[in-house]
Chain A
Amino acid sequence: MDSILQCQNLTKHYGSTCGLNDLTLDIPRGRIIGLLGPNGSGKTTFIKLCTGLLVPTSGTLTIGGHPIGTETKKIVSYLPEHTYINNWMRVKEMLEFFSDFYKDFNVDKARDMLQNLQIGLDDKLKNMSKGTKEKVQLILVMSREADLYLLDEPIGGVDPAARDYIIKTILTNYQEKASIILSTHLISEIESILDEAILIKQGNLILHDSVDEIREKKGVSLDALFREEFKC
């Protein structure tokens, strides 16, 4: 299968507000894609629809050829904006948890990454700083050998050194069968690692193009284009 994600006329209403309006996309495998837009533009809504945390109002959405459900959750690895591992477990118990539920979880890779950051397996999650918890969560998500990675604001609110580490982790884990969708508003930091960019404004698709095309056709960087499109 060449496409990893396909959606047609995907729409989500929250009561009277429209979160996502008539979105149609085809995302191939082996790409790193930036989902760009200001806060409240619909990025998180789209990601939540892909992970099954929201159900669409209308339209279709398939990942790996399956509609959203247990089958897609097996092949999608999701990093939400907020940490979800704020509980009583130790790091090694979290590794066990992921191994139990996800067949594609590579526990050795996770252990290596944790060791590189000097995070002990016996460390308790509730005693960790916010930054360390975020790194543990990133490691758990990237240690899965998934077909689609959905990273919601992975570098927002993070110091530059950690940002570099995250970007390096993303590049190191790149695989041809998988695609990574990164939602962010910090574009200049990640522009060089993106293949394609999807710009969303107020729930509508503004642009879906390769980053090289944008530079060649419009002669501007993605960052400049974003500022132009979303200027206040």
Chain B
Amino acid sequence: MAWDFTKDRPIYTQIAEQIKNQIFVGKRNLGDRLPPVRDLAIEAGVNPNTMQRALAQLEQEEIIYAERTNGRFITEDKTMLDKQKKETARLQMNDFLEKMAAIGYDRKATLQLLTTLTKDGE
């Protein structure tokens, strides 16, 4: 029922991330109107106040904006979103490279392995 959350970080930051990812992947489209806080909270299985904090963070990052009477909308700024997507990808990559280093693969080795794997795959 609820979304998955890890135990080490505040839930609201994880919610914000998951919503961002949904936008990146296309589950939510640019310019879409977001459901009301309460409905989102129930969907995610979290406290409405927590969801509120997550949305506030997304507002601060300008991923979403609020129109006083109409509700919250996802930005239409494709360029900015692409930049964010790239930044998120970069962070994920760094994470991955650190993990590989932890098992003894330096960057060169990792790149070699990656090339092999992707050649065999798609």
Interface residues of A (CB under 8 A from B): 30-32, 164, 167-168, 171-172, 174, 192-195, 211-212, 215-216, 219-221, 223-224
Interface residues of B (CB under 8 A from A): 1-2, 5, 7-12, 38, 41-42, 44-50, 53
Name the one of B7, B38, B47 contacting A221, with C-beta atoms under 8 angstroms. B7
The answer to whether B7 touches A224 (Cβ under 8 A) is yes
The answer to whether B47 touches A194 (Cβ under 8 A) is yes
Name the one of A30, A168, A221 contacting B8, with C-beta atoms under 8 angstroms. A221
A224 surroundings in chain B (CB, below 8 A): 7
The answer to whether A193 touches B8 (Cβ under 8 A) is no
The answer to whether B5 touches A192 (Cβ under 8 A) is yes
- How distant is B88 from chain A, measured CB to nearest CB, in Å? 21
Residue of A nearest to B44 (CB): A192
A211 surroundings in chain B (CB, below 8 A): 10-11, 50
A-B contact pairs, 11 of them (CB 8 A): A31-B49, A167-B45, A168-B1, A168-B42, A174-B48, A192-B47, A195-B47, A212-B10, A221-B7, A223-B7, A224-B7
- When A and B form their complex, which 4 residue pairs have the shortest distance between CB atoms, in order from nearest? A221-B7, A212-B10, A215-B10, A164-B1
CA distance A193 to B41 in the complex (A): 9
- Given A171-B41, A172-B42, verify A32-B11 contact (CB < 8 Å): no
- How distant is B38 from chain A, measured CB to nearest CB, in Å? 7
The answer to whether B7 touches A193 (Cβ under 8 A) is no
